[in-house]
Structure 1
Amino acid sequence: MTITLLSIFRRRAGMSHDEFVDHYEKIHARIGEKVMSGYATRYVRRFTTPFGRADDGAEADVVMEMDFPDKVTMEAFFASLQDPEIAAMIAEDEKRLFDSASMRTYLVDERESELPPVLPPAHPS
């Protein structure tokens, strides 16, 4: 049974959305790939843009998902983060990137609905 963790992060004050995405993808994601290797089976970043309103301090700039094959592997991953070198590397980059007070992580209990096929758009007469 796959275990999914979902984390919601907001960028630090003074950082533009583009700067945030650039740093996350070029630096932070590489750190994530390195430390998750051998533990996680999936690592996805979903960068958000406010829809239908101005970007006035969005609640989240990225929703990050990590999948683990099971609880034992997830726990081993978090135990590996206690290594002082790994912990320092992550903490140092998080200070450059995130509003630490807004960081949240959730264990996901996924439920999916079966929907009918999408209909082709109607053509005006």
Structure 2
Amino acid sequence: MIKVVSLFKKRDGLSTAEFRDYYENNHSRLFADHLKVPGVHRYTRRYLEPIPDSITGAVRHSGFDVIMEVWCDEQWYTDYFVNQPSAEFRELVAEDEEKLFDRTQMFTYVVKEYDTDLSAL
């Protein structure tokens, strides 16, 4: 199983509520045909809310507003991220991203996970 993670910053001028509403009810739905196929196991958006530092109380923000995650098999990863969808679909997504994200602050990674055996600590 492959896990892909993207970090996104919302576009200036959007409130947090507007950002989340548009992402959930519009942008994420653009991908329905790509996500409802065999090979995709999970798709999530994790909205980030900074918490105060436990010592200073200062609230610092990384600049990112959401983490998007997709768990998929290797074939789907290759089809979608390596070979990529059609140019028309990518253009549609890019146009929609302009409404939602600061496109200079969009980063996507493959995650290599290492679990800690907590019973060994």
TM-score range, shorter chain: 0.7 to 0.9
User: Percent same amino acid among aligned pairs?
Assistant: 33
| Secondary structure at the counterpart of residue 27 of structure 1 | helix
Q: What's the TM-score once normalised by structure 2's chain length?
A: 0.82
User: In 1, distance between residues paired with 2:12 and 2:20?
Assistant: 14
Q: CA RMSD, aligned part only?
A: 1.8
Give 4+ residue runs of structure 1 displaced > 6 Å after superposition: none
Q: Alpha-carbon deviations, 1:18-66, whole Å to 9, x = none?
A: 1100000000111123323324221110011111155x76421100101
The residue correspondences of 1:1-125 to structure 2 (distance < 5 A) are: 2-38=1-37, 39-52=39-52, 53-54=58-59, 58-70=62-74, 72-78=75-81, 79-81=83-85, 83-115=86-118
Q: Structure 2, unaligned stretches of length 5 or more?
A: 53-57
Aligned residues: 112
Larger radius of gyration: 1
